[in-house]
Structure 1
Amino acid sequence: MLAFVSRILLLIVGLYLMPLGTHALWWALRDDVAPSWRAADWSSAKLLPAASEAPQAIVAVYAARVGRWRGIFAHHTWIVVKEAGAGTYTRYDKVGWGSPVRTNGWAPDGRWFGNAPHPVVVIEGEAAQRLIPQVRQAVASYPYQTFGAYNAWPGPNSNTFVAHVVRSVPELDAALPPTALGKDWQPWRDIVGLTPSRTGIQVSLGGYAGIALGWVEGVEVDFMGLVAGVDIRRPAIKIPAWGRIGMDPITW
């Protein structure tokens, strides 16, 4: 029994704590981390064309590292939509201050605490136009959008919100980054269910631990919000704190 426990502890240290520690060291050596909310750059990263120059419908999900020490292990994700011919984008975020579901609080492709975002999924044209009503309905139906219905860890948080939209609109065909802390949170009554893409099975123990096996998500093992795994569809490994390393996961 003691030997078994020792092996489990070694596995946790090697698979989760060592990557976390090395990424923390790398993060501490950076000289471009914004020291505060006010000092951070929140401007557009110029990933999206001006709405007036893009007549097509667009649906996108973006992710960016969060601020200060939390960026060691976590990304923040959000959703952007624009109907065909619309002159503006609409951005949806779940945040822990003010109105929990924020609409157009920041530039649609804005930096987050100075960290440039990267696209998780971008869909354009007729396919996007068909999905936009479903996305808006999913945003409106999010069950944890009242004041106080936010828990940074293990959830529900900003990434739980985006995972809800992805789960409600599986045609997005998106897998959130392994560092999207809170994406795997589910209430205890829903321990076993489908992955957000509905292409596999997910087991979630209140966001503290879990496993997901899906064609879109790949294989993911969650321990205290840190995720390790592999992606078979778009070959890559998922390393706690470091994130995904391998083929670009974005779907266009």
Structure 2
Amino acid sequence: MRFFRVLSILCVVLFISACSNNDWRTASRQPAGIATTPNEDNRAIIEFYAADAFSWRGWFAVHPWIAIKEENATEYRVYEVIGWQVRQGLPAIRQYQTLTPDRYWYGSKPELLLSIKGDKAAMLIPKIQKAIALYPWANEYSVFPGPNSNTFVAWIGLQVPELGLELPFSAIGSGYAD
């Protein structure tokens, strides 16, 4: 009986700490200082990032995204899959342009999974863009087992094996692309 009481208290404390994480509206989206700005490097750049998912989901899973900067481009183009977009009738794939592709994912600092620069990046960018255009679950999203943001990045890695992309164990849903 005492064991279950201690376990219950521990669960409540963990639940409260998870729920009191940041409000997504006020959580940090600041640059992490990992990426070079486009005016610092005119080469083509491909970077894959992942950060802990928001709130309690971050205990188990990451959210990944892809940043591409073509040679002499003034901004990166970022591609990611977002579940709320599908619930609003929009495509799962979100893309936007930015100077800072390494922004915190709602309070979680990103990790650089892969960086390719120069001629190899320039050669691979069209292949990545083709794979994005052919993504078979562009209008679907499911946290588990997928398709989700990890499925999207895994799909790109499978379509463009020259990347040599390796996702972390916590990329739940990456196996959905196999």
Smaller-chain TM-score bracket: 0.7 to 0.9
Q: What secondary structure sits across from 1:110 in the alignment?
A: coil
Bigger drift between 44-53 and 83-92 goes to 44-53
- Deviation string 1:94-153 (CA, Å, 9 cap, x unpaired) is 01022310002774111112100011110001000000000111111101112xx10011
Residue 65 (structure 1) aligns with: 52
One-letter identity of the residue aligned with 2:122: Q
Residue 76 (structure 2) aligns with: 89
Residue 111 (structure 1) aligns with: 104
Distance change >3 Å, CA 92–CA 168, structure 1 → 2: same
Q: Pick from 156, 159, 178 the counterpart of residue 168 of structure 1.
A: 159
Q: What secondary structure sits across from 1:184 in the alignment?
A: helix
Residue 137 (structure 1) aligns with: 130
Q: What secondary structure sits across from 1:53 in the alignment?
A: coil
CA contact (8 A) 2:154 2:174 kept: yes
CA contact (8 A) 1:34 1:113 kept: no
Residue 157 (structure 1) aligns with: 148
One-letter identity of the residue aligned with 1:38: R
Distance change >3 Å, CA 39–CA 179, structure 1 → 2: same
CA contact (8 A) 2:76 2:97 kept: no
CA drift at 1:34: 3.5
Q: Pick from 85, 97, 120 the counterpart of residue 127 of structure 1.
A: 120
Q: State percent identity of aligned pairs.
A: 38
One-letter identity of the residue aligned with 2:79: Y
Q: Pick from 28, 34, 50 the counterpart of residue 41 of structure 1.
A: 28
- Deviation string 1:151-199 (CA, Å, 9 cap, x unpaired) is 011100000000000000001101101101100114xxxxxx6xxxxxx
Superposition TM-score, scaled by structure 2 size: 0.83
CA contact (8 A) 2:141 2:148 kept: yes
CA contact (8 A) 2:22 2:107 kept: no
Unpaired runs of 5+ in structure 1?
1-23, 187-192, 194-252
Unpaired runs of 5+ in structure 2?
1-10
Cα distance in structure 2, aligned partners of 1:169 and 1:28? 40
CA contact (8 A) 1:56 1:83 kept: yes
Structure having the larger proportion of residues in helix: 2
Structure having the larger proportion of residues in strand: 1
- RMSD between aligned alpha carbons? 2.2
One-letter identity of the residue aligned with 1:160: T
CA contact (8 A) 1:159 1:183 kept: yes
Superposition TM-score, scaled by structure 1 size: 0.59
Cα distance in structure 1, aligned partners of 2:174 and 2:102? 20
- Deviation string 1:30-75 (CA, Å, 9 cap, x unpaired) is 79x7332112111211111111121111001101001111011000
Cα distance in structure 1, aligned partners of 2:60 and 2:38? 33
Cα distance in structure 1, aligned partners of 2:26 and 2:55? 11
Q: What secondary structure sits across from 1:104 in the alignment?
A: strand
CA drift at 1:85: 0.7
Q: Which has the higher contact order (CA 8 A, sep 6+)?
A: 2
Cα distance in structure 2, aligned partners of 1:56 and 1:105? 17
Distance change >3 Å, CA 105–CA 85, structure 1 → 2: closer
Asked if 1:76 is matched to 2:63, the reply is yes
Which consecutive aligned stretches of 4+ in structure 1 deviate over 2 angstroms post-superposition?
Answer: 27-31
